[in-house]
A = this chain, B = another copy of it.
């Protein structure tokens, strides 16, 4: 295949084309807020039907128990001789997941984790799980009610994970939200769904279900549960789906809190470009170290976005490669829990995986992908959300009316400064920078995320 320089020149050529195209097409109305696109709020995503669709609106407790045969088969798979290649001499995670560390993970999984599976399963059941049918898809969610609402105001919260996460990321965060604290006069009734196609939530059978369409489903879930005004919190895809929901349905959104704020509107692109070239005009100097210059952004894009590139274009190929393949799935997913927690961990032989997480935590998350066989449907979200159809909706040009908070944890892959977010989030009432944490703060530093969140809620609900 064409070598690097050739690829680079084509990226360059592509960038220039895009500049021209974007320049002519999109930037004409640069400052103007966009219109809410017309989305079908009842669009059907299930398998093709012979007759008319009848939605079963029942909300049923959902048993997440795993069939013992599946666990037995997994054990058999993990007992196969592990034929992964040795890493190159002197290499940690610079070439991806280090195979010596992978051997350790697999050994732990087989010899320690799986023999204790009934305990892990019990732990995963510590919240109440439910399932309901929305637009043809069985949607799973955790519903955690306040454990001590005395003297507190209860507010519903839609809490959304991303890829390669699951609701497991929230197991230490949810109790903080539901038990309340002296930091807040509010306590939260938490709805934490598995995104469609992730974990116990069914994926679409038809093309076209990108972030805007998922936002419609998530809102319908909240309406089904009787919440027509709610808070939203999310990172990764959960953040993007959350901002889509907040743009599309201002009547339902009382506040949006993100730990990965982003602005994909044309104005956002232009300002992102400018802020990377002349940061002093756009970025508060005290936080300059959080924002990469243009060179650093380019290098990060080249070095860290291969997974997104392949998932956006060949999701079914990478899905087939990881389906029913526990060792590969662990390498593919855990690489992200290393590098996205801190990019410096790429230089460590063990990827720093257990600096903040335990193998049990990490394997719980992988088990959810494995036992639900959802890796293919999960990565399809990239292709559905990064294509032209989704771009054309231009949801990001519709400003979010609700109060917004952006929490930035130091080692997130990219940070977007307030100045870039301005046209999308005119009501950005809280903007924070933390010297630690990474892409998975609910999982890694739940107390910090909780403190940030309740500080926001206090301001947001007062200002409503």
Contacts and interface: CB of A to CB of B under 8 A. Distances in A.
Interface of A: 1-19, 21-22, 47-48, 80, 82-91, 95-99, 102, 162-163, 203-207, 211, 236-237, 240, 260, 262-265, 268-269, 272-273, 276-277, 294-295, 297-298, 301-325, 327-329, 331-332, 335, 373, 376-377, 380, 382-383, 385-387, 390-391, 396, 413-414
Given A14-B15, A272-B9, A314 B307 contact: yes
B386 A87 contact: no
A13 B264 contact: no
Given A1-B382, A15-B12, A309-B305, A316 B85 contact: yes
Contact of A240 (B3, B321, B385): B3
A418 B413 CA distance: 41
Given A17-B295, A48-B89, A88-B206, 12 more contacts: A5-B268, A7-B301, A7-B305, A8-B18, A10-B298, A85-B376, A89-B206, A97-B317, A97-B320, A99-B316, A318-B332, A321-B332
A380 B99 CA distance: 14
A84 B323 contact: yes
A308 B303 CA distance: 12
Q: Which of A4, A19, A237 has the most CB of B within 10 A?
A: A4
A269 B5 CA distance: 8
Nearest to A377: B85
A18 B3 CA distance: 16
A162 B319 contact: no
Contacts of A329: 321
A383 B95 contact: yes
A298 B211 contact: no
Contact of A14 (B88, B301, B331): B301
Given A3-B390, A95-B380, A320-B328, A309 B309 contact: yes
A162 B80 CA distance: 30
Contacts of A97: 314, 316-317, 320
A385 B82 CA distance: 28
Contacts of A327: 320, 323-324
A205 B91 CA distance: 10
Contact of A4 (B96, B265, B268, B386): B386
A410 to B, nearest CB: 17
Given A325-B328, A331-B321, A294 B17 contact: yes
Given A95-B314, A298-B18, A83 B303 contact: no
Contacts of A323: 83-85, 327-328
Contacts of A21: 295
Given A12-B19, A88-B207, A99-B316, A264 B3 contact: yes
A281 to B, nearest CB: 16
Given A85-B319, A301-B11, A387-B4, A310 B309 contact: yes
A283 to B, nearest CB: 15
Contacts of A13: 15, 272-273, 276-277, 294, 297-298
Contact of A316 (B87, B269, B276): B87
Contacts of A307: 310, 314
A11 B376 CA distance: 26
A316 B265 CA distance: 35
A80 B324 contact: yes
Contacts of A206: 88-90
A181 B47 CA distance: 57
Q: Which of A88, A97, A298 has the most CB of B within 10 A?
A: A88
Nearest to A396: B5
Given A102-B320, A321-B321, A331-B317, A16 B88 contact: no
Contacts of A294: 13-14, 16-17
A414 to B, nearest CB: 6
A85 B373 contact: yes
Contacts of A162: 1
A301 B10 contact: yes
